[in-house]
Amino acid sequence: MAGFPPPGATILGDAAAGKKIDEVGKKKVDYFNLPCPIPFEELQREAIMSLKPELFEGMRFDFTKGLNPKFSLSHSVFMGPMELPSQGAETLKIPTAHYEFGANFIDPKLMLIGRVLTDGRLTARVKCDLTDDLSLKANAQLSNEPNMSHGMVNFDYKGKDYRTQLQLGDGSLFGASYIQSITPHLSMGGEVFWAGQHLKSGVGYAARYENDKMVATGQVASTGMVAMSYVQKVSEKVSLATDFMYNYLSRDVTASVGYDYILRQARLRGKLDSNGCASAFLEERLNMGLNFVLSAEIDHKKSDYKFGFGLTVG
Amino acid sequence: MASRISLKPSSGNNKGANGAAERSTVQVLKEWSAWSLEKSKVIAHYGFIPLIIVIGMNSEPKPQLYQLLSPI
């Protein structure tokens, strides 16, 4: 850069002078080339991954067998108490055991995941890229009992620096969401939904600010929900997360703090809640393809203690 | 409103072209769509996992049939 004459000195023009200011001076944000934002439903994904692991109670064994790089079958056995919704303060638990068979086909353009339980319930997920920007997602839970089946279809369109989604569900559920990148670090969006069967409708807004070390999100909805989350990456292996949820209609508050240790052979996530609930989840890699899982959740307010262990193969 | 006093259709659907005595086209359409929704739900329930297995067994590299059942 030393050999160049100072900007404005030549007759050659504004274009050259402008480019030099861009290179030499501070980095100028190019507002026409913003990155594509995260999809609206995944706005809080770092916080959800750190604070809400899949806690379970009982014994779990998962075996995944790959026949192909794209096609695999999975067998899963679960034995343990299942919680029933109960009106009183006591938790009602019934010991159950089930076997679940699943088939996955994962292709860059088409993804099909199906799981069926011993009582006949089917969970199906389909994701198909219709074009480069438009993709179709569908998921359904079908069961043999009448009126217990649900399905939902999403159409996602990805623009240059925005994403939109249209959602159609059974029971005349309609939803639409839009999220836009405002700066390279900040993105904001909104969503609308209308539930025909319950005659409810709502509007929500969300914002997400992220940089290399942290992610902060905030969400407000007309259903009364206010949710904020903050995740800080303290080092390569450790991140801390905190979450705050407030319902201004029912005056319900929940705040939680948690940590997420991603080590070479293990992943440990722990959380402490304002409802008096402490939980931890450990996934340890014993060998190539063999993972050992431990889950614990202690609810002091309800005196409910849940411990689970499991093995994941493949 | 004087002409509408007699004969209210029992099904409550006034949009059909025909009168109260015959089933209107909209009603027939509704019945067919409900029937087809029921049938497609049953087809999806029984056929989704076999569909995934058929698509998977025909993808490259083709796996062998015994690999479906053996635990190796």
Give the mutation candidate from B38, B39, B42, B45 for the A interface (greatest A CB count, under 10 A): B45
- Count CA within 13 A, CB hemisphere, residue B12: 0
Cα–Cα distance for residue pair A273/A47, rounded to 1 Å: 14
- Tell whether B44 is within 8 A of chain A (Cβ): yes
pLDDT for the residue B4: 53
Q: How far is CA A107 from CA A66, A104, A112, A116, A194, in A?
A: 14, 10, 9, 21, 33
Interface residues of A toward B, Cβ cutoff 8 Å, are: 63, 65, 67-68, 70-71, 73, 101, 103-105, 107, 112-114, 116, 120, 122, 124, 140, 142, 144, 149
- Tell whether B63 is within 8 A of chain A (Cβ): yes
SS3 helix, strand, coil % of chain A, rounded to 5?
Answer: 5, 60, 35
pLDDT for the residue A19: 46
A68 and B59 in contact by Cβ < 8 A? yes
CA distance B9 to chain A (A): 26
pTM attached to this predicted model: 0.79
pLDDT for the residue A2: 53
From the list A101, A112, A122, the residue facing B45 with the nearest CB is: A122
From the list A103, A124, A140, the residue facing B53 with the nearest CB is: A103
pLDDT for the residue A69: 92
A103 and B59 in contact by Cβ < 8 A? no
Q: Residue A64: closest CA among chain B residues belongs to which residue?
A: B71
pLDDT for the residue A16: 46
Report which residue type is found at A46.
E
A71 and B44 in contact by Cβ < 8 A? no
From the list A71, A113, A140, the residue facing B44 with the nearest CB is: A140
Q: pLDDT tens digit string along B35-72? A: 998 898 899 999 999 999 999 999 988 988 888 888 77
Cα–Cα distance for residue pair A120/A97, rounded to 1 Å: 14
Kindly give the parts of chain A with pLDDT less than 50.
8, 10-13, 15-25
B56 and A142 in contact by Cβ < 8 A? no
- Tell whether B67 is within 8 A of chain A (Cβ): yes
Where does chain A have alpha helices with state H? 14-24, 45-51
Question: Looking at beta carbons, which residues of chain A come within 8 Å of B30?
Answer: none
Is there a contact between A230 and A219 (Cβ–Cβ < 8 Å)?
no
B52 and A65 in contact by Cβ < 8 A? no
A71 and B71 in contact by Cβ < 8 A? no
Residue A178 exposed, middle or buried by CB count within 10 Å (0-12, 13-18, 19+): middle
Q: Residue A120: closest CA among chain B residues belongs to which residue?
A: B45
* Cα dihedral value A254, A255, A261, A265, nearest 10: -10
* C-alpha gyration radius of chain B: 25
pLDDT for the residue B7: 54
Cα–Cα distance for residue pair A297/A272, rounded to 1 Å: 10
B68 and A114 in contact by Cβ < 8 A? no
CA distance B60 to chain A (A): 8
CA distance A67 to chain B (A): 6
Q: pLDDT tens digit string along A20-43? A: 444 444 577 788 888 899 999 999
CA-nearest of A167, A100, A163, A177 to A139 is A167
pLDDT for the residue B6: 54
B56 and A122 in contact by Cβ < 8 A? no
Give the B window 22-41 contacts with A, CB below 8 Å. 41
